Amino acid sequence: MSDLFALVERLYPICRSITGDGVRRTLEIVGESIPLQVHEVPTGTQVLDWTIPKEWNIRDAYIQDADGNRVVDFGASNLHVLGYSVPVSGTMSLAELRPRLHTLPEQPSLVPYRTSYYGETWGFCLAQETLDGFGEGPYEVLIDSTLEDGHLTYAEHVVPGRVSDEVIISCHTCHPSLANDNLAGIAVAVELAKRLAGTEPWYTYRFLFAPGTIGAITWLARNRVERVRHGFTLACAGDRGPLTYKRSRRGSEIDQVAAHVLKDREHTILDFTPYGYDERQFCSPGFNLGVGSLTRTTYAGYPEYHTSGDNLDFVSAEAMADTLDTCWDIVQVLDNNRRYLNLSPYGEPQLGRRGLYASLGGRSDTKELQMAMLWVLNLSDGEHTLLDIAERAGQPFAVLSEAARALHDAGLLKEQVA
């Protein structure tokens, strides 16, 4: 658990956006834990219906009063600047400055997170209670930024499987100091990749670390997607709310797996909507991939969302660990969900002479595993997956999977190739 929170804590101060050095620094830190293939896509590159924008970087920004006090300071919080603000320097009255100031009157102590990626403008974000203390000015205003041709940066980490069919796990890297809405998802994805590294999975697992929307669109434009069999986006992974899974657009095996894993946890399952994280790009009708979304509290579903309230105190190592365990369970079911064909379907095969009953001696779950074998034999007709059988039998998937392996090794089952 400590590794999860430590990574969030380390990444939290970095100013990220959809492009720029903050994204690169974030990926450098992630790359200390898992090997990454980093991609740089030049400004102006056409990606589906979009174009890679100019690259934005920022060094400093502030609003300073006549006494030399920085009443709004980028150095205190990178949320204080409207994302993608063009450079500005000058002296202004409050009346001139006010149209450029963004607050949350209904949450007066919080600083909002705002951006303007595709329209060249500038602005500041601040707490309403700070703005209420402003005089008429004058104020010195500075945004020391650049917006120029550069690159969009994203990265991939691949865990090779026994087959080339892929499971994609995607998290976004474009938010600045927001602990739950992006950093917790990055931390969980990193730890999940590290767990998988010590296994020999069935599927190939591809982890995508990319800016929201434009990053997923760029990846989709540059890659063959027919190999993607399953996947989920991972965000809002560290708050204390219950888990939420949003189904894929087309309805797919990943949806069934997630529902099965979550049934013994406090959770919510939602139908697909074309709003939220990058599942909406993977599930756009031209691709229609089997990609769902896993969060705790939903997108925009908590008062601290896209505000300074989404800070290190808002997330917990325990919540991130629970999200990680849920992801691991989803991966384990997905990776072991097979269809089998009973090779002795006429009557019940004699299990005792094959040593299957004897092998259970002394186990506390002997009866459960015996019943699992009978269920697997009965429903292994090439049509039912192990997960189908687990749900019909009301038994844990892991027990059905163990039973299937024993029956397969005894020559009673043949695995069906999808």
CATH number of the domain that residue 68 is part of: 3.50.30.90
Beta-carbon count within 10 A of 20 CB: 26
pLDDT higher than threshold 80 for residue 365:
no
Ramachandran area for residue 20 (φ above 0: left; ψ -120 to 50: alpha; else beta): left
State the average pLDDT over residues 25-44: 98
- The number of domains in the chain is 3
State the average pLDDT over residues 34-41: 98
Q: Are residues 139 and 163 in the same domain?
A: no
pLDDT higher than threshold 80 for residue 417:
no
- Residue 134: the pLDDT is 96
- Residue 360: the pLDDT is 52
> What angle (nearest 5°) sits at the alpha carbon of residue 157, between those of residues 154 and 161?
145
Task: Please tell me whether 102 is known to bind a ligand.
Answer: no
Q: Are residues 204 and 279 in the same domain?
A: yes
pLDDT higher than threshold 80 for residue 364:
no
Query: Which of 12, 141, 121, 122 is closest to 71 using CA atoms?
Result: 141
**Is the model's pTM score more than 0.75?**
yes
Q: What share of the chain is helix, strand, coil (3-state, %, to 5)?
A: 35, 25, 40
Q: Are residues 211 and 69 in the same domain?
A: no
Domain that residue 345 falls in: 339-416
Average pLDDT of the chain, as a whole number? 95
Q: Are residues 178 and 309 in the same domain?
A: yes
- Residue 1: the pLDDT is 64
Q: Are residues 19 and 111 in the same domain?
A: no
Within a domain: 398: yes
Query: Which of 222, 240, 171 is closest to 7 using CA atoms?
Result: 171
3-state secondary structure of 157: strand
CB 239 within 8 A of CB 183: no
- Residue 150: the pLDDT is 98
pLDDT higher than threshold 60 for residue 102:
yes
Q: Are residues 116 and 183 in the same domain?
A: no
In the block, which residue shows the tokens 């050095």? 21
Q: Alpha helix locations (H) across 12-72? A: 21-30
Within a domain: 31: yes
Tokens of 136: 């008429």
Separation CA 4–CA 11 (nearest Å): 11
pLDDT higher than threshold 70 for residue 269:
yes
pLDDT digits (tens, 9 = 90+) for 57-95: 999 999 999 999 999 999 999 999 999 999 999 999 999
Q: Are residues 188 and 255 in the same domain?
A: yes
CA Rg, the chain, in Å? 25
Domain end among 88, 119, 148: 148
- Residue 355: the pLDDT is 77
Within a domain: 178: yes
Tokens of 150: 């550069």
Within a domain: 161: yes
**pLDDT band, residue 390 (cuts 50/70/90):** very high
Task: Please tell me whether 306 is known to bind a ligand.
Answer: yes
**pLDDT band, residue 363 (cuts 50/70/90):** low
pLDDT higher than threshold 70 for residue 368:
yes
Separation CA 390–CA 59 (nearest Å): 56
Q: Are residues 104 and 9 in the same domain?
A: no
CATH number of the domain that residue 360 is part of: 1.10.10.10
> What angle (nearest 5°) sits at the alpha carbon of residue 52, between those of residues 50 and 56?
135
Domain end among 104, 119, 148: 148
- Residue 369: the pLDDT is 86
Backbone angles phi and psi of 134, in degrees to 5: -75, 140
pLDDT digits (tens, 9 = 90+) for 278-312: 999 999 999 999 999 999 999 899 999 999 999 99
- Residue 270: the pLDDT is 97
Task: Please tell me whether 181 is known to bind a ligand.
Answer: yes
Domain end among 303, 336, 369: 336
Backbone angles phi and psi of 360, in degrees to 5: -95, -5
CATH number of the domain that residue 296 is part of: 3.40.630.10
Tokens of 80: 């204080």
- Residue 358: the pLDDT is 60
Separation CA 33–CA 241 (nearest Å): 28
- Residue 418: the pLDDT is 61
- Residue 416: the pLDDT is 87
Q: Are residues 161 and 261 in the same domain?
A: yes
Q: Are residues 100 and 185 in the same domain?
A: no
Q: Are residues 164 and 137 in the same domain?
A: no
Within a domain: 58: no
Strand runs (DSSP E) across 93-203, as ranges? 101-102, 124-125, 139-148, 151-159, 166-172
Separation CA 220–CA 209 (nearest Å): 13
Tokens of 72: 């709004």
Q: Are residues 119 and 25 in the same domain?
A: no
